[in-house]
Structure 1
């Protein structure tokens, strides 16, 4: 039988911290002359905000987090806490002086210590009794005070994640950094543990920066999202801004599965195998990249804008994935449609585009 995840019925909300503004100014970092990992990054996490650093592996997310924590030093630029420089040309505060908590990807719990001793491990400035009291408050925040005398191996992955969170919150940091905190969890647990973590962060009132490579996770958790690629900041804003108005094809492709076409502009319209779409701001005869989200199709067996033939279909429960042949397209068109929209034996169908799911960019050579 699978181990039952415990869910806290109530949490201590006392002992909140004073959230700070954490800013990166023109941060660059390199491990050598030919290995630049960050290039001129400037962004801020506002007091009490959850800011998600999103990007593929190698984009510089974790390096930026390590620079904030004081584990790594930048090549150029400054890190500021409430406009006070904590790392830069004139000062470099060690990690223990930054009022920054860090939750590692693998939780990093000590297997030979009890849960209580794990949480109070970093409270070295307090007496034994004071450290125990603060550790118990932190465990109560995450609903695990009844495991205080247990050891990490008896806990589920989600509970271990909450212990790591309690340990980071125990010193009441002004900023909390979380590096891929849910990557090791069973996919069935992720939703509930993410929701619980977000609730804990709201109650603790700490500013939080969360690293993730999962766009949906960033949208679920972040007040704002900073999208990185190859050590550069591509776009920062609320989830809706990045989804509806992506800065480029890379940003669009990170939030949606896309069909991508090269098109020529004629009369303000881009001509694609799926029809003509509006291309405001692009000149006559210019080449454009048109991206259509897989979810951007309405399908019918009787009428529509473009004829298509079903090559394959995969049933996923709520939706079906269709592989379609469309005249004029060298590659198959992929669509994600509601189950039941087409009959079981449907083969020749019609497509209609939803304008909100069509994105037009100046011609780019990068991949989505």
Structure 2
């Protein structure tokens, strides 16, 4: 750490600047033991931006990352770095020749090596003294220069994560690949470590592809988000685009908790237990699914559109999670309300839905 003589506050050394690159997946396919795991994904991580690969377990996120790193080979398609092919039908560059950095989920630090030697490990092309200086600078950038001679086992999970980040950035990769880098951290540490990591990525100007199954994490980190399901790309865009205009009900449910109701379009409207919904963009008689975000339901003692009865209340601190009985559906309707909004012991209430939190999708879409 360096000190600012004007105020005595320690500041981290600025990251060495890299030349950010674009990384493109072009119609990528991959199979494992005869089962197709990636099904024709085309996607580009833009220079200097963070692209988050988001999706449930088994959606193909980590496989796509391993293909980019050169640890796995695709069965069809190409991978390009700045429009230069690094993997394709007739070419497969090994990981060390791709100019990408990889940060594993478990950090993969060598327990028998000091922190400094762990960071220096990827700098074998440099003379020892120069590699050591680069490793020291990388540790200083993540605020761990004072741990250089320590061994990984004495560090906390958050500190190990920062060592792994320093090691990945030390060779100044054009693209940094990160596989669920915060999944092993205490939930109380995640926010600060994630913010530190994002700041370091911005300073280094490296492009980054981050794998996560957490939609909020993707929205916090990603300049763009690619949502995957069953080896396919469902939707790609900014956090705002995916939240406000999800392509299907899977995407809607991934970015917010929803109540779901089946229905038919009749005269441009869809009848639901929460009232009629606009269906003008669908054909008359078409089967649809209506999604209503939990946060878009207003619950009050009176004055709402639909009568309901509270079945359960779960206090979650700032909010309460409610389950409510509503005529027209056997499943409880769920809502999130401010914790001090409803009087204790209240049973009979009314519901109203915010129109911008109601989404309608083709049933099989």
TM range (shorter): over 0.9
**Residue equivalent to 1:26:** 27
**Residue equivalent to 1:5:** none
How far, CA to CA, are the matches of 1:62 and 1:287 in structure 2? 35
Contact 1:158 1:193 in 2 (8 A): yes
1:302 Cα offset (Å): 1.8
Per the normalisation by structure 2, the TM-score is 0.96
Alignment of 1:63 onto 2:51:
no
- Segments of structure 1 that go 5 or more residues without pairing to the other structure are 1-7
Contact 1:114 1:151 in 2 (8 A): yes
**Residue equivalent to 1:3:** none
How far, CA to CA, are the matches of 1:303 and 1:263 in structure 2? 26
**Deviation digits for residues 172-218 of structure 1, max 9, x if unmatched?**
00000000000000111111110010001001100000000000100
Secondary structure, aligned partner of 2:263: strand
**Deviation digits for residues 106-154 of structure 1, max 9, x if unmatched?**
0000111110000001111111100001101111111111111111111
Secondary structure, aligned partner of 2:52: strand
Contact 1:37 1:60 in 2 (8 A): yes
1:67 Cα offset (Å): 0.3
Contact 1:263 1:288 in 2 (8 A): yes
Q: 1:343 to 1:204 in 2, by over 3 A?
A: same
**Residue equivalent to 1:351:** 351
Contact 1:249 1:364 in 2 (8 A): no
How far, CA to CA, are the matches of 1:113 and 1:363 in structure 2? 56
Q: 4+ residue stretches of structure 1 with deviation over 2 A? A: none
Q: Which range moves more in the overlay, 259-268 or 163-172?
A: 259-268
How far, CA to CA, are the matches of 2:122 and 2:285 in structure 1? 64
**Residue equivalent to 1:164:** 164
**Residue equivalent to 1:149:** 149
**Residue equivalent to 1:196:** 196
How far, CA to CA, are the matches of 1:364 and 1:152 in structure 2? 50
**Residue equivalent to 1:308:** 308
How far, CA to CA, are the matches of 2:57 and 2:339 in structure 1? 34
How far, CA to CA, are the matches of 2:332 and 2:33 in structure 1? 43
1:199-278 mapped onto 2 (5 Å cutoff): 199-278=199-278
1:14 Cα offset (Å): 4.4
Calculate the aligned-residue CA RMSD, in Å. 1.1
**Residue equivalent to 2:42:** 42
Secondary structure, aligned partner of 1:263: strand
How far, CA to CA, are the matches of 1:302 and 1:13 in structure 2? 57
**Residue equivalent to 1:4:** none
How far, CA to CA, are the matches of 1:336 and 1:345 in structure 2? 17
Secondary structure, aligned partner of 2:295: coil
